[in-house]
Every structure is written in structure tokens, then in C-alpha cells.
Amino acid sequence: MNQHNINIVKGFAEYITLERSMSANSVEAYTRDVDKLLFYTESVLKDRDFEEITTDELAAFIEWIARLGMKPRSQARILSAVKQLYRYLLFEDIIEDTPADTIQCPKMGMMLPNVLSVEEIDSIEAAIDLSSNEGERNRAIIETLYSCGLRVSELINLKTTDLNSEEGFIKVTGKGNKTRLVPISHTALEYINYYVEKMRNHIAVNHENKDYLFLNRRGRKLTRVMIFTIVKQLVEAAGIDKNVSPHTFRHSFATHLVEGGADLRAVQEMLGHESIQTTEIYTHLDSSYLRDEILTFHPRSDKRQQILDVTENPPDDIIEPNYDVINAEEFDDVEELMKMKEEMEAKNHQL
């Protein structure tokens, strides 16, 4: 075991925490990915120091994790962490040049997220048993996820003081402890008020969790696993055959805004994306909607002529066209998947 490399990893974690202002979850994600390189140096490179590794050896490391069956997106994430590690070594004057920057990311292709239609979201909310106190809470959770486009970590960390019912905004604390104001719908506020009146005000709230908005029946803050479990159960009850996670509501929020003509910069602000390029994924989703619109209404379109023919000679019952949502592999922010293993014991808790 190379104690020198272990100390570098520890220093790297402190660096991205203090100098880069990364959240604890992001720091853990980067450290976990760098640990894979640490393991590789121990098992393959005979405990070589990080600063002695060449570009070719780093490329061989990426090939090695590929052979382990990791998907291109995971390979790219690990490579990103390794590049950050070597920039840290540059920052500390441990190396003069980084061997990592010339390594190309694996080709990932276009990864489009799953989204839900408004009708599917309505059916999920309709599947909630409102006869229970937890039902009021769960309905408020689903509506808040969709109406505000929150990450799971942002939802579970919402505090009662973050709500501004009069102005129709909530204060959201996102990655890097950055705060933003997000509009909240009248419906979501109404559901939250129902939950507070019928459940939250009638439970013994744990003192450490008294400021958090969404609590379990024991008066404790909800965990990520509990939100994932709630969503999974409701999606099954609604009979929706899609891979739906809490993050799917965030994707749906953004996609529906873009489809409705919202400015991309405004969507970026509401989602808390640092880069507009991250938000642009939703313009690719919207392209299927635009394609159907063009095929339907362009004067040279055969589809438009078919619609005109139907309009002039309508059948007894007209079935509205069903525009399929692009179905692709789900992607989530790394932060939403961290600490899942440690929180699995929460599955045994009553929701």
C-alpha cells in the first residue's frame, strides 16, 4: 500500500472542498472515482506514485475500467476525476505537467433522459391514498418535485422558512451550497399547506429536524432512499411502465417548460445549472415535439394534408395523435446517487 498516494487523495479531497467549494456529496463522488486509480496503481503498476504515471499508463487505466464493464458515461466521469487529481498535483507543485489532459473522453453518444407527460404525472398523483396522513405528504412531494424541478437533495433539505407563499417562491439550496429562488405553483403550495395542517402539525418533531419541511411519521427528516421508494411505489400503483426516479420529475419540469416556449436561460436559472450546455439537453428532447409540429402544420407536409382530409370528412370518433416521448437511458446528477448505500437501512423505516 502506497501511503504517499493515500495522502495525496486525502489532500485532493481537502482541495476540492476548500478551493473548489464542492459539496460533501460531490467530494465523496470524486474521491471514490480517484480511489479506482489508487487501486489500479497498487494492483497493476506495483504501487507507482501518482506523479510517476505516464499518459500511456493512464490511457491503459481507462481501458482497464472499460474491460470491467463500466459504461462510457462512468468512464468519462472517472477520467474527469483523475484530471482534477492531476490539476491538484500541479497546484501543489508536485508535478510540472499533467499526463491526463491529453486523454480523450470515451464517446458517449446522445443520452436523453426519460420524461413523463402531464397525464402520467396526474395519474401518479391520483394513485396516492389521501386517506392517510402520509398521502398528503407524498402528494405535496410529487407536486413540488414537478412544479419546481428540484433535485432529491434539494427537496429533502427544504426548510419551512424557505417557503414564501405570498410571493410564490421557494429558496433552494443546491450544489456547492448555492441558493436560488424558484417559482412554486399555487397547486404545490396548496398541497404543502394540506400536508402541514393534516400531518406535520400533529407529529412529535425531532428537535434536530424541526426546521425541515418534509418529515416521516417519527418527526425525522426524509432520506433520499425514502423519496426513491415513495416514487417507485406510486409509479407502480399508477401502472406506468417507465424507468421513473425522483429526478424524472426534474427532467419533465424542464422539458415541459422548453416545449411551452420558455427561455432557456430562465430554465437554466430555475434548475441551478452552472452551464447552459447542461440545460441544452432539453432542446434535444424538444426537437421531437418540434418535428411533429412541423410535420403536422407545414404546408408541404403529407401529414398536414391527411389532417385536412380528416377535418373535411371527420369520422364518428377521432383519436388524438399520441406523440411518443423519446425513451433513452436515464441519467442523474452524481449528487443524487451518493450515500445511497449508507441510507439503504432507511428502507426498513415506515414512510
Q: Report, as an integer, the average pLDDT of 276-292.
A: 62
Whole-number pLDDT of residue 307: 41
Determine contact, residues 72/65, Cβ cutoff 8 Å. no
Whole-number pLDDT of residue 110: 55
- Those residues whose C-beta lies under 8 Å from the C-beta of residue 74, and which sit 6 or more positions away, are 65
* Res 301 pLDDT > 70: no
Task: Give CA–CA dist 143/149, Å, rounded.
Answer: 10
Per-residue DSSP letters for 275-286? SHHHHTHHHHHH
Query: Which residues are the active-site residues?
Result: 151, 175, 247, 250, 273, 282
What are the respective helix, strand and coil percentages of the chain, to the nearest 5? 60, 5, 35
Whole-number pLDDT of residue 284: 61
Instruction: Band the pLDDT of 285: cuts 50, 70, 90.
Output: low
The model's pTM is: 0.59
Residue 30: φ, ψ to 5°: -60, -45
Nearest to 138 by CA among 202, 231, 49: 231
Q: Report, as an integer, the average pLDDT of 69-93.
A: 89
Grid cell digits, residue 298: 407545414
* Res 37 pLDDT > 50: yes
What is the number of other CB atoms lying within 10 angstroms of the CB of residue 75? 18
Whole-number pLDDT of residue 112: 61
Whole-number pLDDT of residue 269: 85
Model confidence over 118-144: pLDDT tens digits? 999 999 999 999 998 899 999 999 999
Q: Which residues pair with 159 in a beta bridge?
A: 212
Out of 7-16, 282-291, 292-301, pick the least confident: 292-301
What is the number of other CB atoms lying within 10 angstroms of the CB of residue 251? 24
Greatest Cα-to-Cα distance within the chain, rounded to the nearest angstrom:
80
- Give me the helices (H) in 19-71, please: 24-43, 55-67
Determine contact, residues 182/149, Cβ cutoff 8 Å. yes
Determine contact, residues 225/346, Cβ cutoff 8 Å. yes
Nearest to 148 by CA among 187, 115, 176: 187
Go through the domains of the chain in sequence order and give each one's CATH number: 3-91 (1.10.150), 118-276+329-348 (1.10.443.10)
Task: Give CA–CA dist 311/327, Å, rounded.
Answer: 31
Model confidence over 224-258: pLDDT tens digits? 999 999 999 999 999 999 989 999 999 999 888 88
Model confidence over 308-334: pLDDT tens digits? 443 444 333 333 322 222 222 333 343
Whole-number pLDDT of residue 328: 27
Out of 72-86, 205-219, 273-287, pick the least confident: 273-287
